[in-house]
Structure 1
Amino acid sequence: MKVDLIITNAFVMTMEGQGVGLIEDGAVAIKGNLIQAVASTQEILANYSTEEQMDAKNKLIMPGLIDAHIHTGIGILRGVAQDMHNWMQVGLWPFQKHVTLEDNITGSMMNIIEGIKAGTTTFCDYDSNMNKLVTNYVKVGARARVAELINEIPNDIGDIPVGELYPFHPEIGQRKLQNNLELLEKWHGAENGRITAMLGPHGPDMMSLELLQEIKELAVKYDTKLHMHVAQGDREIDQIEKRYGKRSIAFLDEIGYLNERLLAVHLTEATKEEAEQVAKSGAAMINCSGSIGIIDGIVPPILEFLEAGGTAALGSDQAPGNNCNNMFNEMKFVSILNKVKTRNPATFPAHLALRLATIESAKAVGLDHEVGSLRAGKKADLVFVDLEEPSMSPVITQPVRNIVPNLVYSAKGSEVESVMVDGKFIMKDRKLLTVDEKTVIRNTQIAANQISEKVQAEAKKLKSPLLTRMENGEL
């Protein structure tokens, strides 16, 4: 049978089965945007022919990584809110209130490029102005599962003292909800199915009960998932307890949110029992170890969630909190932090972290029929990792293999040599093929300078510890 491309002589990590499904001398046959076959090089060459054959000796071919939770629209504010309490009000808000729509778009493209260069092919982007941000995915050629951030809170929420109830404005909620519905109607299934959409309620504390119920009904109408922060911090728990007299998980259970439609992001403040309840409900969990570790100094209860039979995924969250949007970083963090938390080096083995960034993530977000593993009929979303990079060397295959531990504990993302999405290379030999990376970085810097000038004009009001540390010569 003739195909468009055969990739040979590679280590092929399929992520099929219970582990990583590694084929040591493997090959992948691709026709159009689909994987035609995955097997040994000998078997593929015996059964398939092509006019284009790629020798991938000393390369690892694996499924593209999935970032199950990212806010690319605030990527332009990387590094402004670290090492402090109340990071949103004290660190992020003084900058974010000066960010324009164009700044959002510019920073978003930078974040997407960062992810692609580190092997991310699917981005579950969850932000405001998503009808505009989604065009970045069209340009760059990545896969995206997008949602509009729906809430009823005003733009000056950062000025409200910590502990006061958020004011709700129904007109804000309806405008953002309509933006999300437009996203679903215009973009779901666009670009040959590369772009899909979900509903994105911001959190149970960010909107009225009436709007939460309306969104739940719309999720049934559109047969889609609900991408939502859940128990994401003590601020949320405080707001819910003051409004409804109970914690977030109990409240969401009461109003019918705990089911297979829910992507529960973070669960930072969830107890063991609450995490188990969410897992048993069929809802998925998205864990962002780097972000929550830096912002809150907490290790979310993902182990308890998994042990209760839940489906979980990894996400990078946002650059102002996590600093980087790199799934290799998230795999390492989730494994190491949970080893430390349990005081057990056998906790969270490397293959588990790798599954949570590929096939388990695909299951969580509802895309496992298309991506997350390499098998015939799935989309050709592939990442090529250079095994001759120092961080991946040497390659040991007997009596044990070291590729998986090295991917999780050693790789930085720069080992990714090429990236294919939907059967097309969007990065080859470390060069992006669809956008001009240097132009994007220059534009991002110009926009960041303009935002910084506006914040500088209000420096006397700035309470950021980063400013104090800079004045003390620490930064």
Structure 2
Amino acid sequence: MKKVDMIVKAPHFYAMDGDGVGYRTGVVLVVDGGKIVEFCDAEKADKEYKADEVLSLDHHAVLPGFIDGHMHAQLNILRGLAQDTNNWMMYGLQPFNNAITTEDGQAGSYVAFIEAVKAGTTTLGAQESELDSVATFLGKIGARGNLTLSFRAAKHRVYHPGELYEFDDAMGEAGLKENIRLYDKWHDKGNVKILFGPQGPDFISPDMLIRTQKAVKERKTKLHLHTQQGDRETYQIVQRYGKRPIAFLQDINLLDESLIAIHLTDCDDDEARTVARSGASMVVNPGSIGIIDGVVCPSVVFQEEGGYVALGSDQAPGNNCHNIINEMKNVCLFNKIKYANPEVMPAWKALRMATIEGAKAVGIGDLVGSLEPGKQADFIAVDLNFPSMLPVYTHPMRNIVPNLVYSARGEEVSHSVVAGQVIMRNRKLVNIDEREYLDAVKDRPDAIGRGAEKEFYEIDGTNAQFMREGKL
């Protein structure tokens, strides 16, 4: 008999191979060396394999771990402070963002990662201003990181509508240099990959964008870029360069397969098609952009043009959670409403965006996203005995995928495995004491709030008015 690390037994598997969801039953999953060996029937497994662990999941569905293609985890320290307001970035977020310390952001990020992992995310696409602590923590918790340094040349301050950003090119230079250092230190170390991430084409010079793309291609990684993310960006680019962002990026040859375009909030359908045809991919963040902009981004058009689209949770000040199950429901619901068609964006398509298509979109489809021989053994188990998943039908149709997308909340995820290692078992993270990290953020809001208060009320945005009126 061949000795292997793990045999997984469950009544339902969703491998996400092929063009659908790859449903299998009556089989077990064999894992060894952190990778998937095969699906086979239980009788064959008993005869041919001896496992160090048999993971028996008697009332569960097993599927690939979710991919969060874009998140700002450090902003989690400001959860719930910037929604229901226009000019979200400058008038909603910036007064609070100006008041946080590096340590505040780190503490917030750990809570965001805990939340995400416990809701089934195994690959975390964090774009942060500091990555050493992020990579270290993800190594500790055991999750996979697809990490991007956010850097910019635009000075950090509140800009009013119509005001062009003030650039400090030395700050952009330092950011690119730091991104290269992080790549050299962390890329392909353990479960971490490093991408390059100027905050957006409006926040940095064309020369710096081109030089960053050159660094990306030399290192065979990806350019993770907020792209036409709102009318604010469009205004900045039009005023500086006389054209809309997609046309501008096309002119400087930034649209190609190395680009992961984040949001496309202010793109019309033709612009979205242009990006998809270039070979670039997209990350759509339906909950965040719905809340902060009231917009449904053109992911359907992008997919129709042949492009890969991942889901992202973005940031908690304006989205309020890091939960890809929530984003699956949002992307379905919002597009059904947008197109007034209940057949647009079915549940199975959203599940593919959270798994195999999302993995392809962020450049790791050869490693994860589906349960196929040779791929990394990243998978989760969903407990079908939760009220939100009951009753379970298997004929004449299966209802597990619709219930996961439209009914689940995240607490149904009982187990999480990354590279063959169990990182959550029966809802308990096995490598850290999560209470330690949750408690560490509780005393921080007082100092942050006092630091932001003057600017918050001087700006007198929607939420300041709500406070005065006793509505918060």
Task: Identify whether the pair has TM-score above 0.5, normalized to the shorter chain.
Answer: yes
Residue by residue over 1:259-288, the C-alpha shift from the partner in whole angstroms, topping out at 9 and shown as x without a partner, is 000000000110111011111110001100
How far residue 456 of structure 1 moved from its aligned partner, in angstroms, is 3.5
1:144 pairs with 2:141: no
Superposed, 1:157-168 pairs within 5 Å as 158=158, 160-168=159-167
Letter in 1 for 2:83: Q
CA distance in 2, matches of 1:279, 1:63: 25
Check the 8 A contact 2:64/2:369 in 1, yes or no. Answer: yes
Listed one character per residue, the Cα deviations across residues 66-109 of structure 1 (whole Å, up to 9, x for unaligned) are 00001111110000000010111111111111111111110110
Q: Say if 2:196 is the partner of 1:195.
A: no
Q: CA deviation at 1:245?
A: 0.6
Alignment partners' CA distance in 2, 1:161 and 1:467: 17
Once residues 458 and 127 of structure 1 are traced to their aligned partners in structure 2, the CA distance between those partners, rounded to angstroms, is: 24
Does the 8 A contact of 1:104 with 1:133 survive in 2? no
Distance in 1 of aligned mates of 2:268 and 2:290: 17
For 1:77 and 1:450, the matched residues in 2 are separated by: 12
Question: Helix, strand or coil for the counterpart of 2:113?
Answer: helix
Residue 129 of structure 1 corresponds to 130
The aligned amino acid for 1:62 is L
For 1:405, the equivalent position in structure 2 comes to 402
Paired letter, 1:435: I
Does structure 1 residue 421 correspond to structure 2 residue 421? no
Which secondary structure state, in structure 2, belongs to the residue aligned with residue 198 of structure 1? strand
1:118 paired with 2:119, answer: yes
Aligned-pair distance for 1:51? 4.0
Q: Work out which of the residue numbers 283, 286, 306 in structure 1 matches 2:283.
A: 286
- The answer to whether structure 1 residue 15 and structure 2 residue 16 are counterparts is yes
Kindly indicate whether the alpha-carbon contact (under 8 Å) linking 2:98 and 2:452 is maintained by their aligned counterparts in 1: no
Give the match for residue 227 of structure 1: 224
Cα distance in structure 2, aligned partners of 1:40 and 1:389: 27
Give the number of aligned pairs.
471
* Cα-to-partner distance string for 1:268-323 (whole Å, 9 max, x where unaligned): 11011101111111000110000000000000111111111111111110111111
Q: Relative to 1, partners in 2 of residues 1:471 and 1:43: Cα closer, same or farther, differing over 3 Å?
A: farther
Instruction: State the alpha-carbon separation in 2 of the partners of residues 290 and 41 from structure 1.
Output: 41
Deviates more, 1:456-465 or 1:365-374: 456-465
Query: 2-side partners of 1:218 and 1:4: how far apart?
Result: 39
Partner of 2:202: 205
CA change 1:458–1:286 in 2 (3 A) is closer
Structure 1 position 55 matched with structure 2 position 56: yes
Moved more, 365-374 or 133-142: 133-142
In 2, are the aligned partners of 1:23 and 1:39 still within 8 Å (CA)?
A: no
Backbone CA RMSD of aligned residues: 1.3
For 2:358, the aligned partner's letter is: S
Provide, for residues 121-140 of structure 1, a one-character-per-residue CA deviation record: whole Å limited to 9, x for no partner: 00111110123322221221
- Report the secondary structure of 2:283's partner residue: strand
SS in 1 for 2:282: strand
- Report the residue type matching 2:332 in the other structure: S
| 1:347 counterpart = 2:370 | no
Shift of 1:46: 4.1
Structure 2 letter corresponding to 1:54: L
The TM-score with structure 2 as length reference comes to 0.97
The runs of 5 or more residues in structure 1 that have no matched partner are none
Structure 1 residues 12 and 43, CA, compared in 2 at 3 Å: closer, same or farther?
farther
Identity fraction in percent: 44
Shift of 1:368: 1.0
| Deviation of the 1:25 alpha carbon | 2.9
Alignment match, 1:176: 175
User: Which 10-residue stretch deviates more, 297-306 or 132-141?
Assistant: 132-141
- 217 and 51 in structure 1: CA distance in 2 versus 1, 3 angstrom threshold: closer
- Between 1:277-286 and 1:216-225, the stretch displaced more is 216-225
| Aligned-residue offset at 1:10 | 2.8
Q: Distance in 1 between matches of 2:337 and 2:378?
A: 34
Q: TM-score, normalised by structure 1?
A: 0.97
CA contact (8 A) 1:417 1:430 kept: yes
Partners of 2:336 and 2:342 within 8 A in 1 = yes
Give the Cα–Cα distance (whole angstroms) in 2 for the partners of residues 131 and 405 of structure 1: 38
